[in-house]
Amino acid sequence: MSGLELPAVPPQAPRTGGRFWPWLARVLLRLSGWRLVGTLPDCPKLILIGAPHSSYWDGVWGLMFKVALRLDIKIMIKREVLDGPLGLILKPLGMIGIDRGAAIGVVEQMVEHFRRRPRLWLGITPEGTRRAVTQWKSGFLRIARAANVPILPVFIDYPSKTFTLGPLQQATDDPDADMARIRALFRGYHGKHRDST
């Protein structure tokens, strides 16, 4: 069986440590046939958006790639979940607690995280659900614009078993045009249960 080929991790990307879990993730990815295609950008801060998101398996494969590459990619989750016993498992996996009852909104909380950290890669599913939707949530664009960080599209395609890294995108002062431009990049990719919407 041939070895698993993964993109090189650039110097400015946030990293994690460990040897066993990255090794195990690589073994499981090789056995599964899933591949990560493209080039990781040399940026200390960015937002990754993955679609089409139609199955919890998207998160499983995405997590495998994250661990295999030793990338420290953060995922937003309700703070209450991290405060409970599940927090012992989820915090090491890169979850960031969001306080939905805070005086400032989720966008502002994430902008503050970007401001405080020298390196931060944040993963978001712009559809916001595994169900088919007609509109994507605009939070990733608002965070990217306010924090002045680029957006990295990640195209999920089940027929080819690939996660493909797209070209970096910049949020502008025209969110409607940004959304149309970015969503168009995802056409032709097929999720487990549906295509990109």
How far is residue 189's CA from residue 162's CA, in Å, rounded to a whole number?
10
Would you say residue 126 lies in a domain? yes
Q: Which whole number is the average pLDDT over 167-190?
A: 95
Over residues 1-58, the pLDDT tens digits come to: 456 899 999 999 999 988 999 999 999 999 999 999 999 999 999 999 999 888 889 8
Q: Which residue has the tokens 């995108």?
A: 169
Tokens of 189: 């990719």
Would you say residue 115 lies in a domain? yes
pLDDT at 163 over 50: yes
Tokens of 11: 């110097």
CB-count burial class (<10 Å; 0-12, 13-18, 19+) for 156 = buried
Would you say residue 181 lies in a domain? yes
Over residues 49-68, the pLDDT tens digits come to: 999 888 889 888 999 999 99
Would you say residue 24 lies in a domain? no
Give all strands (DSSP E) within the chain, no chain letters. 35-37, 45-51, 73-78, 95-98, 120-124, 151-157, 162-165
Q: Which whole number is the average pLDDT over 121-144?
A: 85
Give yes or no for a contact between 13 and 89, defined as CB atoms under 8 angstroms apart: no
Per-residue confidence (pLDDT) for residue 47, from 0 to 100: 97
Per-residue confidence (pLDDT) for residue 197, from 0 to 100: 56
CATH number, domain with residue 157: 3.40.50
Over residues 68-95, the pLDDT tens digits come to: 999 999 988 777 777 777 777 777 778 7
How far is residue 183's CA from residue 148's CA, in Å, rounded to a whole number?
20
Would you say residue 154 lies in a domain? yes
Would you say residue 27 lies in a domain? no
Per-residue confidence (pLDDT) for residue 183, from 0 to 100: 94
pLDDT at 162 over 90: yes
Would you say residue 105 lies in a domain? yes
Per-residue confidence (pLDDT) for residue 1, from 0 to 100: 41
| Three-state DSSP class for residue 12 | coil
Mean pLDDT of the chain: 89
Q: Residue 86 belongs to what domain range?
A: 37-185
Q: Which residue has the higher pLDDT, 85 or 168?
A: 168
Residue 71 C-beta-side C-alpha neighbours within 13 Å = 30
Would you say residue 104 lies in a domain? yes
Per-residue confidence (pLDDT) for residue 105, from 0 to 100: 85
What does R_g of the chain's alpha carbons equal in angstroms? 16
Per-residue confidence (pLDDT) for residue 137, from 0 to 100: 87
Total domains in the chain come to 1
pLDDT at 102 over 70: no
Beta bridge partners of 122: 47, 74
